[in-house]
Amino acid sequence: MMTLKNTAETTRLAKRNRVGLGLACVLAALGLGATEGQADLRFLAKGKEFGVAGSLIGDQHATHAAISAKGGYLVWQDNATDESGLGISALRLDAAANAVGAPFRVNASLAGNQEKPQVGLLANGGAMFAWEAGETGFRRVQFRAANAEGMFLAEEAFVTGADSGEQTDPSMTVLGNGTVALAWTDYLMDGDVKGLAGRIVTETGEALTEPFRLNKFTRGNQYGAKMLAMPNGGIAAVWVSDQQQSEKSIDIVARLFNSVGRPLTGEVVVSQPGISSNPVLGIAGNRLMVAWEQVNLDNKKTRWNIHMRSFDLNLKPLTEALTANQKLEGDQFAPSLEGNAEGAMLVWNSLGQDGSREAVVGRFLNQDGLFEGEEFVVNSTKFAGQIEPNVTATSEGQWLVTWSTPNGNGNGMDVAGQRFEVEKDGTVGEQPLDPVSVVFVNPLGEGELMISWPDVGGMDVAHYEVYIDDVPDPKKIGGNYFIWKQLQPGREYAFRVVYQLNDGRRSPMSAFGFNRTWGRDFNKDGLPDDWQREHFGRDSLKWPAAAADADGDGASNHAEFLAGTNPADPDSVLKLTSSMMEQGQRLSWPTEPGSIYQVEKASQLGTGNTEWKAEGSPVLAVENEAGLTVDADEQMSFYRIKRIR
C-alpha cells in the first residue's frame, strides 16, 4: 500500500484536532472551531496506477465513471466503436473498479459524432447514460437507460426532441428519489444566445417535467452547467455566466433547485471578477464545494489556476475563493471534484509538473471544505500527456481517478486509473481486500473448461488460486484465466477464485462460476452426440455432418453449435461481420440480450485441429447486437464467435 508524501509518497493529514496554526485560524474566523475526538485521517494511494480498460484500439477520451458498492460503469468517447465517427463506449466495473467483461457501445444511432458521455447509477440497480450527438450546428443531447443486468431498455431518446435548437455540454445526476436530472446548454432557451435547460426523467427515461430554465440572468452566454444531487433531495447547479459582475468578467454562478426543477435560491456568483471557466461540484459532509478554472491576469507565467470555494447546503458562502494549486507556473485546468462522507478529492491537469507535458495533480479536502495536505502528482506514467482527469467516489472513503494516457504502442490513448482511500487510526493494513467479482466458465471440449475472471488491476497480485467444486487444493495461476483439462464429458463443474498479493494478504473467496463440458462425441464427427440428438433426433445415421448447413442459413452445424443457435431454424443464426473504423476493425454479431459471448482468433486454419485463442474479454450482450474492435492486422487472421452463457 503506497501512501502519499507531499508530491511523492505520503502526507499525514490532521483532522480538526491536529490542524496547523494557519488552518486553525481559518476555522476560528469562520466560527467553526476545532472539534476534539475526531479520528486522524490519512489519504492513501491504494495500489498502483493501472489500465482500467486494458489496452484498446484507438483513442479513448473524456472518461466519466459511477461506482457503488455493487459496481458500476466507466464511459468514454472513442474513434474505434462507431464507423460514422466518434462513439460512446462503456465498461462494467466491479466495486473495486476492476473491468468486468469487454467494453460495449452505448449509442445505437451512428449518425454524426457522439461525445461528452455521462453515466449515473439508478436505485433499481440500472444505469442512465447521456451524451451529445450529431453534426456541428445540429448537436442534440440524448440519453439511454439500462436495467440492473446491464441491458438497454430501448434506443436512445432526445432530451427534448429532434427539432429543438442545438444542445451541448450534457450533465446528469441521480436524485435521492430515484429520478434523473439532466442539464445542457441550449441555444433557444433564454432568448439571448446560449442559455441553460434542465429536465427530470424517470429511471426508465420517461419525462416527469417539461424542460425548465436554470439561469435567471440572460444577457450574453450561459453555458457549461454541472449538476449534483443534494442530500435533501434537491439539485445544485453551477455554470459559466457572461458579464454578471462586469462587462469584462466571465463568472461562475451557482443555484439550488428542488427535485422537480423549481428554483430554491437566486443565482449566487461564486468566482471573483475576472475570466473563469469549467466549474465542478462536490459535497463532503455538510459542505457544498465548487471548483473552477480562473485566469491570473497579474502573472504571465501562471495564466490558468484552479480555484475552490465552500458553501453550506443552502448556498451560504463559508470561505472566500482559495487557490487549489500550489504550483503557480504553467496552466492548471480541467478540474474534477468528488466528495463522500470522509472528505473530497479534487484533481486537475497541470502543465509540466511531472517533467513531461500534462500531469494529473490532486489535493484532498476535509469535511469543512478546507484543504488537507499538499498537492501531489497522481499519475506514475510520465510519458507525453496525461489528460482529461475524472474522479469518482467508489464507496465510503474511496475514490477512483481516471484519465487518458498514451498507450505503449504510441498510436492511441488508453484509460489509466489510480485508486485512493482513507486510513483511519492507522488501520489500513486491516482493511479487507475485495473478492474477484465474477468467474466466467467457457466449455472448450468434452474434457476441457476455460475459467476466466476480471484481472485485479494495480494491486501487485502474486498469484491467483482456482478451486474446483469442493476440492480444497487449488491450482495456482499467474494470469486471469486457466484451462482445466481431463474433466468428465457432459458434467457441470463449479469454480471459485482467490488472489494473493505479494505482501501476503489474501482476498475472500469469489462466488461460484459454473458451466458444463461438452457431451461425448462417440461418432467422432466433431459435435457432441447429445446436442445432435436434441436438434436432429435420436437416429444418429440421419445426423448431418458438422460442416453441413442443415437449415440453409449460411452457418454450418458446427458454427451453430459454437454460437448456441438452433441448427434446424434458419432464423436462428450468428454471423460475424467486420467494418473498418478510423482505428482498427469492428467485429459485430446479432445476439440474444443477456447472453455472454467470446470472440476467438486463429492465425491460420488447418485441416487438423486449429489453435483458437480468446480475443479480448467475454462480451455481455446488452441489446440485439454486440461487437468488439480488434487490430486491423497486416497478417491474415481468422475470427469466430461463441456463446458461452
CA distances from residue 321 to 197, 306, 645 in whole angstroms, order as listed: 27, 10, 54
Rounded to an integer, what distance in angstroms lies between the CA atom of residue 286 and that of residue 230? 10
Residues in the chain, how many?
A: 645
Beta carbons of 175 and 162 less than 8 angstroms apart: no
136 Cβ neighbours under 8 A, 6+ residues apart: none
CA pair distance 480, 463, nearest whole angstrom: 9
For the sheet with 60-68, list strands across it.
Answer: 60-68, 71-82, 85-93, 99-105
Closest to 620 measured CA to CA, from 587, 584, 592, 601: 592
Residue pair 170/239 in contact (Cβ under 8 Å)? The answer is no
pLDDT for the residue 282? 96
Could you count the other beta carbons within 10 Å of the beta carbon of residue 262? 11
CA–CA dist 349, 335 (Å, integer): 7
The terminus-to-terminus CA distance of the chain in angstroms comes to 37
Angle at 56 between CA 55 and CA 57, to 5 degrees: 135
Q: 532: helix, coil or strand? A: helix
Give, as one character, the DSSP assignment of residue 21: H
Q: How far apart are CA 282 and CA 364, in angstroms?
A: 12
Rounded distance between C-alpha atoms, residue 561 and residue 555, angstroms: 10
The burial class, CB within 10 Å (0-12 / 13-18 / 19+), for 20 is exposed
C-alpha cell at 320: 472566500
CA gap 551, 4 in Å, rounded: 64
Residue 267 DSSP code: -
- Nearest-angstrom CA–CA distance, 294 and 279: 10
Q: What angle do CA 395, 88, 601 make, to 5 degrees?
A: 95
Q: Which domains does the chain have, with CATH numbers?
A: 440-516 (2.60.40.10)
- pLDDT, residue 177, reads 96
pLDDT along the chain (645 residues), means of 10: 36 31 34 37 85 90 94 94 90 91 89 94 96 88 94 93 84 97 88 89 96 92 96 97 90 97 97 95 94 86 89 95 91 95 93 88 90 93 91 86 86 92 62 86 85 90 96 93 92 96 94 91 89 91 91 88 85 80 79 79 77 81 78 76 75
CA 502 from chain centre, in angstroms, equals 28
Cα dihedral 285, 288, 292, 297 in deg (nearest 10): -110
Determine phi and psi for 13, rounding to 5 degrees: -110, 115
User: Helix or strand or coil: residue 15?
Assistant: coil
Cα(352)–Cα(354) distance, rounded to whole angstroms? Answer: 6
Q: Check residue 35 and give its pLDDT.
A: 33
Task: Put residue 136 in one of left, alpha, beta given phi > 0 → left and psi -120 to 50 → alpha.
Answer: beta
| Angle made by CA atoms 464, 467, 471, in degrees to the nearest 5 | 145
Cα dist from 430 to 1, 436, 479, whole Å: 12, 19, 26
Distance CA 327, CA 31 (A): 30
How many CB atoms sit inside 10 A of residue 25's CB?
Answer: 11
CA dist 161 → 115, 140, 200, 260 (Å): 18, 8, 15, 20
Alpha-carbon distance 99 to 617, whole Å? 9
- Longest alpha-carbon distance in the chain: 92
Angle made by CA atoms 178, 180, 181, in degrees to the nearest 5? 135
Using only C-alpha atoms, the chain has a radius of gyration, in whole angstroms, of 27
Phi, psi angle pair for 11, to nearest 5°: -135, 125
- For residue 275, the tally of other CB atoms under 10 A from its CB is 16
C-alpha cell at position 540 = 444418429
DSSP, residue by residue, 549-593: -TTSSS--HHHHHHHT--TT-TT-----EEEE-SSSEEEEEE--T
- The DSSP letter of residue 207 is B
Handedness of CA 13, 15, 20, 25 (dihedral sign): positive
DSSP SS3 for 117? strand
DSSP 152: B
Which has the closest alpha carbon to 343: 427, 285, 420, 421?
Answer: 285
Residue 539, Cβ density class (10 Å: 0-12 exposed, 13-18 middle, ≥19 buried): exposed
